[in-house]
Structure 1
Amino acid sequence: MIEIERFDPFNNRLCRNVRNALSENFKKVLEQKEMQPVRRAAGFFLNDPLPGCVRTYIDQRLAAYEQVLADVRNRQLDDPLDVAVAIWDRGLFFETHEYLEPYWMTADGDDKKLLQAIIRAAGAYVHLEQGNLTGAKRIAAKAMAVLEVYQDRLSPYLDPRLLLATLKSLDPMPPTFAGTAGPRNRPIRSIDDR
């Protein structure tokens, strides 16, 4: 086993494979409302000797996935953006991107633009996690341009001013949004409409 210093899916194949397998199976967790798919994927990797940072990543992801699943169940979340906010609030930015991508691909008009902006905002934090300030700045600027226009559509789910401020400053401490949204009004279609 080769020891690696930090979990880096941009430059290390094992890290990339672990991240992608876990996030892909996490989408199944959200569909099936049970942890078995991601536990099975994690077990595939955990059966072999792993660098410490990879094992830690898997353990942290599994714990965060459990928390998201509990949030979805306890709060009876079924709207894609409500679920995405629950994922975001656990610091799962790559998973936020992966979860919203199928909705973005089938959306059109304003919904498509808004979903792409949220995906880009999550992407900015993925880059920040890896210390890629240049990439984070570039993608945050693209996200902010759209999020500023669609603040009213976003406000039922989260505080758009808080998101815009943290993206503008590239604050390494991402905002959390549970409880920051305004009155409920559903501009994005529900999961059942997908």
Structure 2
Amino acid sequence: MSSPRFEPFQDRLSRDIRNGLSAALPQALAQNDLAPVRAVAARYLHPGLAAPYVAYIEARLAGYALALTTINRTKALTPLAKALVLWDLELFFEVHEILEQAWHGAHGVEKEILQAMIRAAGFYIKGEYGYFEAGAKMADRAVATLEKNRRECAGFDVDTLLESLRGLNPIPPKLLRQDQSQ
């Protein structure tokens, strides 16, 4: 029997952990307190939990703590600004979670840009687990929309993102300008 690995596209427990933690993050950010995600983590962390699951939970909690600190320091107020902090921390599923909530209430160009960023994050989510073909389709759709709305893409390095997505670069680019992330 092979040892378990964290793979949310094939393993229900992985998917439940990922979805539970990421669903609690918006509330944690709104409250400026990681208690909601810690409560989700506590439901899963028990002595018998396999190491890959524990490692994922611990890494996410550390990433969320850093994200919260950075969001507060940089005064990232909009969903896109918060998502960009998460992006640079390579928390792509959480980028998707934050932006999807905002996307539901957005209109026009803003809605298109949010959807493109969700797809761009999806490219890296899929790629992380080896689903390059599905990721490439998401990248192509993100590129088309970002190019169409390039002038309205403020607050992040859209040119670097477009270059990375066009080239299907598996290494995600940093999108915040240095003066914003420090």
CA offset digits 1:33-60 (Å, max 9, x no partner):
1111101110110025112111110011
Partner of 2:109: 110
Query: Deviation at 1:152?
Result: 1.4
Alignment of 1:1-194 (within 5 A): 4-154=3-153, 156-179=154-177
CA distance in 2, matches of 1:180, 1:79: 18
In terms of mean alpha carbon deviation, does 15-24 or 168-177 score higher?
Answer: 168-177
RMSD: 1.6
CA distance in 2, matches of 1:87, 1:71: 9
| TM-score, structure 2 normalization | 0.94
CA distance in 1, matches of 2:70, 2:178: 16
Gaps of 5+ in 1: 183-194
Query: Deviation at 1:5?
Result: 4.2
CA distance in 2, matches of 1:181, 1:152: 20
CA distance in 1, matches of 2:165, 2:38: 33
CA distance in 2, matches of 1:171, 1:49: 37
Gaps of 5+ in 2: none
CA distance in 2, matches of 1:37, 1:82: 21
CA offset digits 1:137-180 (Å, max 9, x no partner):
011001000001111111x2111110011111111110112226
Counterpart of 1:158, as a letter, is: F
Q: Which runs of 4+ in 1 moved over 3 A?
A: 2-5
Contact persistence 1:159–1:181 (CA under 8 A): no
Query: Deviation at 1:26?
Result: 1.0
| TM-score, structure 1 normalization | 0.88
Counterpart of 2:168, as a letter, is: L
Identical-pair percentage: 37
